[in-house]
Structure 1
Amino acid sequence: MREGQASAARADLSAIRAALAIDRSSSAQARTIDLTTTGARSGRAHRIEIWFYRAGDELYLSTAPARRDWYANVLAHPRIVIHLKHGVSADLTASGVPITEPGERARVLREIVDGLRHPADRGGVQNIVGDADDWIAGSPLVRIDLDDPSLLPGR
């Protein structure tokens, strides 16, 4: 690899890590990604826009309580692609790991809901988040295990 290419690769890595380094003060735009899953029944690629979250050192996908097609797709076909699109354009391959253990679900979803209630500007979303217990009872929760964990901040 030539020196210019190596420099560009380092810049891309830095931008990817910055995009993944969201925290409770991150804007809605910063946490918005596209997610590609494989259809549970159709077997075809499906791409949606969704928020991702950080709890501890891990990345997660979740939504307000409801049945979600993307979650059914991950259950059937755990291979996913995360498409970063704000501040950097990158397609990151990963496995989606459903979190079903009650204690872990409660811990992670409480952290997510608490983060959404942070007073940072999220377009008023903190007022419509709902109760953490509702999220624990009815929200899908998937950990994102990147194929290249070195992309995560601090690694």
Structure 2
Amino acid sequence: MTVTDEVRQALDRQQTVEITTIGRRSGRPRRLETWRYRAAGRYWLTGSPGRRDWYANLAADPTFTLHLRDRDLRVRARLVTDPEERARVFNEIVPALSWAGTVESWLAGSPLVEIELD
């Protein structure tokens, strides 16, 4: 089993993760807890509609640390802005969340980032 396979298995078991981004203004590490989602066979970070500092930090520096229970990984964020791709991913994620509201509200106001493991 490759390291990437092990990481994917760990991510499949762990929805709550921590990430560390670099502050876009301060240059200091910023660690927070968030949920990862799986859609289209890939892993994503997003959140309910609203502004997110972590997203702005990743826009400035897409390299971040993904903290899993047994390892810390340097990974890369791919910010998803294409409307069609956002719709495909949110149409898979949002309906599974009983508290989420509408797909349309997430399309209009939620960040979407693919976690690039390789």
TM-score computed with the length of structure 1 as normaliser = 0.70
Which residue among 140, 144, 151 is the counterpart of 2:111?
A: 140
| 1:68-79 superposed matches below 5 A | 68-79=52-63
User: Greater strand percent: which structure?
Assistant: 2
TM-score computed with the length of structure 2 as normaliser = 0.90
Secondary structure of the residue that 2:50 maps to in structure 1?
coil
Matched, 1:49 2:33: yes
Task: Report how many residues are paired.
Answer: 118
Distance in 2, Cα, partners of 1:37 & 1:104: 24
Structure 2 portions without partners, runs of 5+: none
* Partner deviation per Cα, 1:2-61 (whole Å, 9 max, x = no partner): xxxxxxxx6x87653322225xxxxxxx30000110001111110000000111121110
In the other structure, the counterpart of 2:11 is 20
Secondary structure of the residue that 2:44 maps to in structure 1?
strand
Matched, 1:91 2:72: yes
Q: Which has the larger radius of gyration?
A: 1
The residue type equivalent to 2:63 in the other structure is: R
The residue type equivalent to 2:110 in the other structure is: S
Q: Which runs of 4+ in 1 moved over 6 A?
A: none
